[in-house]
Structure 1
Amino acid sequence: MYCDGRMIHMESSLFGVHRSLFDFTALGHAFILWLAIQGGIYTQTKLLSFVEDLDHLFFACPFSERVWNALHAKCNLPWVQRSWLDTLSWMEQFRGRSISSIVIQLIFVASIYAIWHERNAWTHGEAPKNESTVIQDIVFTICA
């Protein structure tokens, strides 16, 4: 991945994540995904000793779950709540270069970024967005 001519190395084979997850994404989105894979996202557990981990942040939180449900419905994919590691494994089936695989990869990476960004905004006192606004942001990111 390149940024202003400098190479940024991201180990993409961790947890079975294929490099293609990083191929079509904006640098900021790919960086947040890479941080999450590395266990470097500061969740509430790490910040304030509350009970929040990547499973809760990205999947078990009611807000996140509504976002995933809506996005999966838009793509005509059934939503099955998974753990973080199970989701990374599930994404392995979309490692190809077909249009549907690329779109699902983009949805995944943009969703991880948007959910993290929204939680981060809440943590720092910004007014919360509703899930329909976050979903629109994700769709806009993918289509931009």
Structure 2
Amino acid sequence: MRRDVNGPGGSGSPKFAFVAWLAARDRLSTMDRISKWDHRVDETCVLCKREPESRNHLFFECVFSASVWEHLTKGILLSNHSNVWQDIVFIISDERMEGKKRYCLRYAFQAAIHAIWRERNKIRHNEKALPITAVMKMVEKGVRNKLSILRTKRVKG
């Protein structure tokens, strides 16, 4: 069964949804994929500098991205919290989960993926990346702002 990380009705941000869609299909140009075209590339994750970069490592097994994901979702997921890609996709695809909680998790998932991918690309292209605390605050604030906007607009559900 195909898991749709965007869910019915899409998400709140098309650019977040698009990057998450690419990640869900393992179509982002992670270093494990690039190395198939060019064997000379360094596959090491630029965020943790410990493991080879793959989709599953980058989202959310890397200590950098795991910290961002945990910061956003540990309080919501409690004992169900995971940093394993397949587990996360299963959790956020569970149609039995209460709608508001599922929306919040899906939006946090998309926002985290977008922010992590962006920070990864900054480093890959020799730009100055943000410290992890700044990334966590930025993503959390973005998610909170989105939810606040929905609340003020009185969006159903």
- Compute the TM-score of the two structures, normalised by the length of structure 1: 0.76
Question: Is it true that 1:135 corresponds to 2:122 in the alignment?
Answer: no
2: distance between equivalents of 1:95 and 1:22?
16
Q: Report if the CA contact (8 A) 1:16-1:88 is conserved.
A: yes
Mean CA deviation greater in 69-78 or 48-57: 69-78
Identity of aligned residues (%): 25
SS of the counterpart of 1:23? coil
Paired residue type of 2:86: L
2: distance between equivalents of 1:37 and 1:18?
7
SS of the counterpart of 2:2? helix
Q: 1:77 to 1:22 in 2, by over 3 A?
A: farther
1: distance between equivalents of 2:8 and 2:86?
15
Q: Gaps (5+ residues) in structure 1?
A: 1-13
Q: How far does residue 68 in structure 1 lie from its aligned partner after superposition?
A: 1.5
Aligned match for 2:24, one of 37, 46, 52: 37
1: distance between equivalents of 2:22 and 2:9?
12
Q: Report if the CA contact (8 A) 1:25-1:109 is conserved.
A: no
1: distance between equivalents of 2:8 and 2:122?
25
Q: Report if the CA contact (8 A) 2:5-2:93 is conserved.
A: yes
2: distance between equivalents of 1:42 and 1:98?
32
Look up the match of 1:3.
Answer: none
Paired residue type of 1:100: K
Correspondence 1:110-129 to 2 at 5 A: 110-129=111-130
Q: Report if the CA contact (8 A) 1:36-1:54 is conserved.
A: yes
Q: Report if the CA contact (8 A) 2:5-2:89 is conserved.
A: no
- Compute the TM-score of the two structures, normalised by the length of structure 2: 0.70
Q: Across the two proteins, how many residue pairs are aligned to each other?
A: 130
Q: Gaps (5+ residues) in structure 2?
A: 35-40, 44-51, 147-157
Cα deviation digits, residues 71-96 of structure 1 (max 9, x gap): 123536343231x2332122112676
Paired residue type of 1:44: M
1: distance between equivalents of 2:121 and 2:22?
14
Q: Report if the CA contact (8 A) 1:96-1:102 is conserved.
A: no
- CA RMSD in angstroms, aligned pairs only: 2.4
Look up the match of 2:10.
Answer: 23
Q: 1:128 to 1:23 in 2, by over 3 A?
A: same
